[in-house]
Amino acid sequence: MKTIGHWIGGKAVEGASGRSGPVYDPATGAQAAEVAFASAAEVDAAVDAARHALTEWRVSSLAQRTAVLFRFRELLAARREDVARLITAEHGKVHSDALGEVARGLEVVEVACGIPQLLKGELSTQVSTRVDVAALRQPVGVVAGITPFNFPAMVPMWMFPLALACGNTFVLKPSEKDPSAAGLLAELLAEAGLPEGVFNVVNGDREAVDRLLEHPGVAALSFVGSTPVARHVFTTGTSHGKRVQALGGAKNHMLVLPDADLDAAADAAVSAAYGSAGERCMAVSAVVAVGDTGDELVAKIAERARKVRVGPGDDPDSEMGPLITREHRDRVAGYVRGAAAQGAEVVVDGTGYTVPGREDGHWIGVSLLDRVPVESDAYRDEIFGPVLCVVRAETYEEGVRLVNDSPWGNGAAVFTRDGGAARRFQLEAAAGMVGVNVPIPVPVGYHSFGGWKDSLFGDHHVYGEEGVRFYTRAKVVTTRWPDPADGGVDLGFPTSR
Ligand code: NAD
């Protein structure tokens, strides 16, 4: 059995806590590896390595940092297939989707390669006689990243490329369900010439996270995961004086207005609801059919949904893979089975689906629920599986109210041909990322990613300019080189006049 340890101080380190957990191949249901769970002492060792490395890395030149990042970019691009295969083996998503995940991570690495431009400060000369003011940004220190299972390579890359580019050192705690991709990223960073200790990986569960939240040597924490854990991380981390950005769960709505191209809307709904088996924080999980579009739209979605090919992620014929664990599959199936009793119409039922020869895999087919009551569990909870709920709304206003009444506010989309309605939606939707005729509006690397309400705790979104702000502290320097003629004591408050 393969065992997965940690990466501390520039090398692989075996787990020493005596605690560990299984990593499964979701397509077979068989255990593929055993991952070590770090104790508080092992987390301390990683933080110590990061603190030690910080002394030199924080003052390394921008050219030194970008040289490493450019090399890392090339290595990652060359090894993208290997990273994608590791993702598919432990997460289950289909290979093309895993490659897409790596590509979106690479985007952020490329933005980080441009850090000299992003870190340029500001200078105001002559704010008062012979007085200049400069604004600069400096690294915060040791940064921790805690990441979810659904993007084992991309979400870490939302964080560490910019954190390192800004001069911080990093400790990553990946999801214990699919930890191997993070290990490979650590090796590639080392191969790219990153000094020892600048990037560390500790595997583990709550024990490791709680130590990071309390550790006095950790200055800032980026978290991505479910809302209850995001809230815990934000509350505990900030109470220990740390800067925290904690991204939580989602229930993304897609409004389809009566003038929309219903074929395009149905294509988009099926792609966004069932891609990666619905295990995406930007998945569309609720379609709001506005006006009289409902019956036709549901028929078009159902027709497409029935054709989605579910199978192993390494089979090029598969469009959707299995779910991450058996327990999660059963939980998702429970929502579909309970939906009818709570008033929904089950149009497509994916429960009970299996792949011949791989019956122990974590399989479920796609499900489509129509006329889902807003009080039902299927509508109210984040299911995080291939289940699409359709809700009917009579008017645009009623549809927007559903978006805005949701406790989450990650993404929201509108499908329409009416520019005025689309513009109104952009301004009125209470969500951090809005799509107009785009179902998964994940911002490109040079913008920033983040939701509103229970989808993000903290002030800063991730990556892009917001990422640079999160990973740096602002400093303002006021300078005067006095003329010998300037002199004298003045107890008044300094003003520029
Ligand atoms: P999760 O919250 O269970 O786990 C996330 C991380 O927190 C993991 O590293 C895990 O080990 C750790 N963790 C789990 N329970 C903990 C606890 N009680 N105390 C401390 N640490 C704990 O999330 P997941 O199941 O891995 O990922 C799916 C969730 O992540 C979904 O809710 C999804 O919407 C969300 N997500 C959000 C975004 C976003 O950008 N907002 C992106 C991806 C995923």
Query: Residue ranges of the domains in the chain?
Result: 2-248+455-477, 252-436
Atom in ligand 1 nearest the alpha carbon of residue 210: 20
- Residue 395, judged by CB atoms within 10 A of its CB (0-12, 13-18, 19+), counts as exposed
- Name the closest-CA residue to atom 35, ligand 1: 225
- Minimum-distance ligand 1 atom for the alpha carbon of 174: 9
Which residues are marked as active site?
A: 281
Does residue 377's CB lie within 6 angstroms of at least one atom of ligand 1? no
Stretch 435-459: mean pLDDT = 97
Query: How far is the C-alpha of 279 from the C-alpha of 386, rounded, in Å?
Result: 8
With left for phi above 0 and alpha for psi between -120 and 50, is residue 283 left, alpha or beta? beta
Closest ligand 1 atom, residue 455 Cα: 41
Q: Which atom of ligand 1 is nearest to the CA of 382?
A: 32
The CB of 204 under 6 Å from ligand 1? The reply is no
Within 362-441, residue ranges assigned H as helices are 377-380, 396-405, 419-428
pLDDT digits (tens, 9 = 90+) for 337-384: 999 999 999 999 999 999 999 999 999 999 999 999 999 999 999 999
Amino acid 459: pLDDT: 96
Between the CA of residue 385 and those of 34, 150, 244, 332, 406, what are the distances in Å? 25, 11, 28, 6, 18
Domains 2-248+455-477 and 252-436 share a fold: no
205 pocket-lining for ligand 1 (C-beta < 6 Å): yes
Q: Which listed CATH number (1.10.150.390, 3.40.50.300, 3.40.605.10, 1.10.580.10) goes with 2-248+455-477?
A: 3.40.605.10
Query: How many C-beta neighbours within 10 Å does residue 446 have?
Result: 14
Neighbours of 295 (CB within 10 A): 11
Residue 287 CB–ligand 1 contact under 6 Å: no
Rounded Cα–Cα distance for residues 441 and 290 (Å): 21
Tokens of 126: 């002559």
Q: Is 206 helix (H, G, I), strand (E, B) or coil?
A: helix
Amino acid at 25: D
Mean pLDDT for 116-137 is: 96
Cβ of 465 below 6 Å from ligand 1: no
Is residue 496 scored above 90 in pLDDT?
A: no
Class at the top of the CATH hierarchy for domain 252-436:
alpha beta
Instruction: Share the mean pLDDT of the chain.
Output: 97
pLDDT for 487 equals 79
pLDDT the model gives residue 449: 98
Protein residue closest via CA to atom 16 of ligand 1: 206
Nearest protein CA to atom 42 of ligand 1, as residue: 281
Ligand 1 close to Cβ of residue 105 (< 6 A) = no
